[in-house]
Amino acid sequence: MQRTKKLTLLHSAAFGLLGLLATTTQSNEQADSYLDHPKAQAFIAEVQAEQNYPKEKLEALLASASKRQSILDAISRPAEKTKTWAEYRPIFLTQDRIDKGLEFYRQHEDTFKRAEQSFGVSRFVILAIIGVETRYGKHKGSYRVVDSLATLAFDYPPRSPFFRSELKHFLQLEQEAGIDLMSAKGSYAGAMGFGQFISSSYRHYAVDFDNDGHRDLINNPVDAIGSVANYFKEHGWQQGKPVASLARFLGDEEQQAQLDSVLSKGPKPQKPQLTIMEIKQAGLIADADYDDEEKATAMVFEGAEGTEYWIGLQNFYVITRYNHSPLYAMAVYQLSEELKKRLSS
């Protein structure tokens, strides 16, 4: 939520934006029980074969779940797929989000420093993730997780297998994390807590960072901070290494044609494969001083003042393991840099 897929679209910042409308929208939706859905009995049989989960409890849970059209609408239009960088950046690089981030950091400064020391992940990136995902815990989602997962598992064919798996993982969190399956709330895609972990990521990467015997990512900011750090460590974060840099095209006409061949294409970023030297040979020069043999990705965004070229390194790619959108990763990076500047001054 392989682990790299675990947060695809699921930790999207659109969760927070669309989640604000969830309560009103849900009240207008018809609540048909998922126990009566044609796919429900097959799912129950699968769970019985794979897990030691009481059938009666599962039937009661599905009986309480209902289809939410607003969830299907939301997942079909994530902000990362519909907005340019010029439109996306102002959502997250706001004075209010920066100010709230400074306040949240100061409340938990010791925890952030301990997470950085324990996992080798920048405390400012951890802070920015929580800021982008939930405004530091203010907007953690208002959909019942079981409604979200059931709706997407049974009524969203493009990713039904994935969400069926997430629904199975969710069942395990009752025992493993003490989550009340009937009442737990989160995003439209079933992501929970300060850092918006989906169920499989919760199970694999959540840590008990305050050593109280519970992994509580929903109500405990200490566990949430440690768990975000652990997620990044497990996905290959390089301690003390840079994330990204602006770049300028300084090439000639011949290099202009070559430039297109080195720019990252497609909606999902690839692991850095080109060297800085290969990117330089296409006329794209990073503003930062990187080793010529460093692996990197060349990216282009449509910004408020025109075309922006960026060079992303391994740590930029790791941020996209949390959400597969380069726009998302760039928002997290730039917010982290702004918070770092304010907190270091």
Q: Return the active site residues.
A: 133
CB 313 within 8 A of CB 294: yes
Backbone angles phi, psi at 121, to 5 degrees: -110, 135
- DSSP, residue by residue, 11-22: T-THHHHHHTTH
**Alpha-carbon distance 298 to 320, whole Å?**
14
CA 205 → CA 41, 121, 215, distances in Å? 31, 14, 10
Element (H, E) at 229: helix 221-234
The whole-angstrom separation of Cα 226 and Cα 210 is: 9
The number of angstroms, rounded, from the C-alpha of 240 to the middle of its chain's C-alpha atoms is 22
Which residues, at least 6 apart from 89, have a Cβ–Cβ distance to it below 8 Å? 303, 304, 330, 331, 334
- Strands of 219-327, DSSP E: 244-249, 274-275, 284-286, 295-303, 306-312
Closest CA to 206 of 324, 196, 47, 161: 196
Which of 340, 280, 332, 345 lies closest to 92 in space, CA to CA?
A: 332
